[in-house]
DNA sequence: AGATGTGACTAGAGCGCTCTAGTAGTGAGA
DNA sequence: TCTCACTACTAGAGCGCTCTAGTCACATCT
């Protein structure tokens, strides 16, 4: 007889005893596989409910050959990573996987985060906006399937799911050109993931039309760098300034707009600004930033699909798997037009 | 003989064989406990390194009577939760615990998040800014030690670690009164965790001095609500407006400032604004928001201390533990004075 | 010499599940 | 009546660790 004194942990054994069946049957019921009659199934679930039993995930993962978990290394407090996680949770669930999160903070490196995911024996690993060197990511990918989200890794050994950054900036530039702008500056993102691609997209779009004048303002990832860039923009003087700015991301754009407005200029009358990402804030009425929308939902679903395809296919057994080359998945961005862009004011005209 | 063909998972057994010792000894070395000579310890670690072995956390937690894990339910993408997580990671590590994260998203409820933490058999649970009813939190706390961070839960059954919200708003009001303001409005937080306390602090501080005029602007948690509040503020007309605003939080304050500036008013000349939280953005030069600093570092350390004290004390055995009543831990906030506050302009004077 | 420690190490029984192989029991087909 | 297939269920051997209860060799004290 199995006792169930309060305070003692309740296991499958207890549920089995209470329902009058074997442990194995309880396992069958909780895994939701065939092999139990409807009546028994309900009797087991009732017993479990009465005992407030829930299966121990540590034990079930240990017992089974598959852990069916995907590890995610993400930056805590990063708004867009939050959007991605939401999507990852949904689609992992749909594909029958669980997510194990590992946070990256200023004092907890991405390497450390990945280390705990490996120790949990996650079957696949998702890196959100990784800042590790390509070499490190590749050697990780040699051990376990990896998808790098937002951050391209060349070579094909690493799964990549990202937005078409270059296309995004082309959208920005074309929108501004369509409004009549000629002097369009890039508010650059420096060395951040995706920044090089966006720079390339900007250049390509600008060179398509000989009437356009290129100009790059050093920027960065946050409002802070956007604000700094605004100060150099202002220092150019009214005649030297571009009439429009295509920013590396929304936060940077928002910082830029803030400072420019504080200096007495008006957006979009005096300068048009386009962001990138479409973070929640960009849609607030008082911000109303025209921006390039990154599809977090889609990025998440493609990430899970890539990993699940690979994991569910191969037996993943001792037979050395063929050197898999994964095609990068590129998600098309779209332009969301709001109130931060307008045709350029004719020089000298006011109001 | 234990083979180590590539592709096969490497276990303690393999490391033991390679180092020429027993499994138990490898376990001793990896747990860092006494019982192995220095020479053997190094031999084992070398063998592990060569095999790229890392202990399986699922198995070690299963094998040991303690899991030494703390579960954290947090909102993904929430900046201040990010700061708290950073601190929690650091202090949990220091106390010998590991963190298991479970994200709350619009489509993944806090209840679901907690459910997975229980299934992982976390020894203690941390809720960041919980939005569950007090009843649910209490019944959870009856099962496992719980600390609710930022969100007070009366009764003493649930551990609470929070900022002294009332004191924070008193700091705001006193700072503004000291600058000479008399008409000080509260930019309210509605039903959010902590909002009621802050409202109370505001009222207390205002009533201390008969010269002060109370005024409450309905607000909320984000820039959006701050912006809305700014519009009702502007609608009051120049003579009816308060000269200063104490906001429920920084994001709300930032939205307020944005709209007020776009309407042509100047901050702090026309209206002083104080925030709450001291999020990173508040410190950016172009924002430079005077605010009440919440000590994320301290909130995190107290949370871990509360839980670790309780877990490391009791044998947690079948002997029913005494009904523990936990004193709430209240962390004092501090005022950070920046450039969004100044003495009120004398009516009618323009600078 | 014998008793007594002590440090280094091992055997082996769990931990709470999963999952393969196998045992009833039932009804249908020959 | 005897297969045969099929459903409902169980026994029991893992999964990769932890941890108690040892064993063994060697030094220390009387």
Q: What is the pLDDT of residues B261-293, one digit of tens each?
A: 999 999 999 999 999 999 989 999 999 999 999
Residue B258 lies in a domain: yes
Is the pLDDT reported for residue B248 higher than 90?
yes
B44 and B76 together in one domain = no
Distance separating alpha carbons of residues A330 and A152, to the nearest angstrom: 10
Question: Which residue is closest, via its CA, to the C1' of C16?
Answer: A59
Which tokens go with B48? 């592990």
- Beta strands (DSSP E) in A84-199 are 98-104, 124-128, 146-149, 159-163, 184-187
Whether B29 CB is under 7 Å from strand D: no
Span B140-199, pLDDT tens digits: 999 999 999 999 999 888 999 999 999 999 999 999 999 999 999 999 999 888 899 999
Residue B27 lies in a domain: yes
Q: Give the full edge-to-edge strand order of the sheet including B184-187.
A: B216-217, B184-187, B244-247, B272-277, B290-293, B334-336
From residue B3, how far is each of A62, B42, B44 by CA, in Å?
Answer: 21, 22, 17
Mean pLDDT of B95-120: 97
B48 and B143 together in one domain = no
Residue B80 lies in a domain: yes
Distance separating alpha carbons of residues B90 and B92, to the nearest angstrom: 6
What CATH number did the domain enclosing B229 receive? 3.40.50.2300
- In window 230-249 of B, residues with CB < 7 A from nucleic chain D are none
B184 and B274 together in one domain = yes
Q: Domain limits at A249?
A: 165-294
A125 and A172 together in one domain = no
The C-alpha angle B165, B170, B175, rounded to 5 degrees, equals 130
Least Cα separation, residue A196 to chain B (angstroms): 25
Q: How many domains does chain B have?
A: 3
A183 and A286 together in one domain = yes
Q: Least CB-CB distance to B101: which of A80, A81, A101?
A: A101
CA-based nearest residue to B48, from B13, B8, B15, B84? B15
Ranges of residues in chain A whose predicted pLDDT is under 70: 1-7, 314-324, 347-351
Span A7-37, pLDDT tens digits: 578 999 999 999 999 999 999 999 999 999 9
Least Cα separation, residue B347 to chain A (angstroms): 23
Mean pLDDT of B5-24: 87
A297 Cβ under 8 Å from any chain B Cβ: no
All residues at 6 or more sequence positions from A239 whose CB lies less than 8 Å from its CB, including other chains: A347
Other CB atoms within a 10 A radius of the CB of residue A329 amount to: 18
A23 Cβ under 8 Å from any chain B Cβ: no
pLDDT of amino acid B316:
45
Distance separating alpha carbons of residues B124 and B70, to the nearest angstrom: 5
A122 and A214 together in one domain = no
Mean pLDDT of B73-99: 94
Handedness of CA B13, B18, B20, B26 (dihedral sign): negative
Whether B55 CB is under 7 Å from strand D: yes
- Would the CB atoms of B7 and A57 count as touching at under 8 Å? no
B109 and B255 together in one domain = no
- DSSP conformational letter for A346: P
CA-based nearest residue to A326, from A97, A162, A99? A162
B175 and B155 together in one domain = no
- DSSP conformational letter for B105: B
Least Cα separation, residue B24 to chain A (angstroms): 19
Whether B13 CB is under 7 Å from strand D: yes
Peptide bond into B351 cis (omega under 30): no
Mean pLDDT of B93-120: 97
Is the pLDDT reported for residue B318 higher than 50?
no
* Chain B partners within 8 Å of A59 (Cβ): 62
- Would the CB atoms of A119 and B317 count as touching at under 8 Å? no
B319 Cβ under 8 Å from any chain A Cβ: yes
Residue in chain B closest to A78 (alpha carbons) equals B77
CA atoms within 13 A on the CB side of A179: 27
Other CB atoms within a 10 A radius of the CB of residue B196 amount to: 16
A186 and A300 together in one domain = no
B213 and B135 together in one domain = no
Residue A346 lies in a domain: no
* Chain A partners within 8 Å of B81 (Cβ): 76-77
Residue A33 lies in a domain: yes
pLDDT of amino acid B9:
86
Which tokens go with B190? 């509605």
pLDDT of amino acid A1:
42
Percent of chain B beyond pLDDT 70?
93
Residue A344 lies in a domain: no
Cβ pair A12, A27 in contact under 8 A:
yes
B135 and B27 together in one domain = no
* Residues 60-89 of chain A whose Cβ lies under 8 A from any Cβ of chain B: 61-62, 67, 75-83, 85-86, 89
CA-based nearest residue to B50, from B38, B42, B61? B42
Residue A61 lies in a domain: no
B57 CA from D17 C1′ (Å) = 8
From residue B91, how far is each of A285, B73, B97, B302 by CA, in Å?
Answer: 40, 17, 8, 9
pLDDT of amino acid B348:
46
Is the pLDDT reported for residue B116 higher than 60?
yes
Distance separating alpha carbons of residues A330 and A333, to the nearest angstrom: 9
- Would the CB atoms of B224 and A61 count as touching at under 8 Å? no
A256 and A240 together in one domain = yes
Residue B32 lies in a domain: yes
How large is the angle between the packed helices A23-31 and A12-19, nearest 10 degrees? Answer: 100
Least Cα separation, residue B273 to chain A (angstroms): 16
The β-bridge partners of A105 are A108
pLDDT of amino acid B322:
54
Which tokens go with B238? 């120049």
């Amino acid at each position: 007889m199995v006792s169930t004194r309060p305070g003692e942990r309740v296991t499958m054994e207890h549920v089995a005893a209470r329902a009058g069946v074997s442990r194995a049957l309880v396992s069958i019921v909780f895994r939701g596989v065939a092999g139990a009659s409807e009546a028994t199934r309900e009797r087991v679930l009732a017993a479990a409910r009465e005992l407030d039993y829930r299966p121990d995930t540590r034990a079930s993962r240990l017992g089974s050959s598959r852990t069916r978990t995907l590890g995610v290394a993400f930056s805590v407090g990063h708004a867009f990573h939050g959007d991605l996680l939401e999507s990852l949770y949904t689609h992992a669930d749909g594909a029958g996987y669980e997510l194990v999160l590992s946070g990256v903070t200023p004092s907890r490196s991405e390497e450390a985060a990945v280390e705990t995911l490996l120790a949990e024996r996650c079957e696949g690993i998702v890196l959100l906006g990784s800042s590790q060197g390509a070499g490190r990511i590749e050697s990780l990918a040699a051990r376990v399937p990896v998808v790098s989200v937002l951050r391209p890794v060349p070579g094909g050994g690493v799964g990549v799911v990202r937005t078409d950054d270059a296309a995004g900036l082309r959208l920005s530039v074309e929108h501004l050109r369509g409004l009549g702008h000629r002097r369009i500056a890039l508010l650059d993102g420096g060395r951040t993931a995706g920044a090089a691609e966006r720079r390339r997209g900007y250049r390509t779009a600008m060179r398509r039309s000989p009437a356009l004048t290129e100009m790059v303002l050093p920027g960065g990832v946050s409002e802070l760098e956007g604000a700094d860039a605004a100060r150099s923009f202002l220092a150019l003087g009214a005649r030297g300034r571009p009439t429009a700015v295509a920013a590396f991301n929304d936060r940077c754009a928002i910082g830029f707009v803030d400072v420019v407005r504080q200096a007495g200029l008006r957006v979009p009358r005096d300068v048009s600004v386009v962001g990138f990402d479409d973070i929640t804030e960009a849609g607030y009425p008082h911000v109303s930033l025209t921006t390039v929308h990154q599809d977090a939902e889609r990025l998440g679903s493609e990430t899970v699909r890539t990993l699940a395809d690979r994991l569910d296919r191969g037996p993943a057994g001792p037979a050395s798997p063929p050197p898999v080359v994964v095609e990068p998945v590129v998600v098309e961005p779209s332009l969301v037009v709001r109130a931060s862009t307008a045709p350029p004011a004719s020089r000298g005209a006011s109001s």
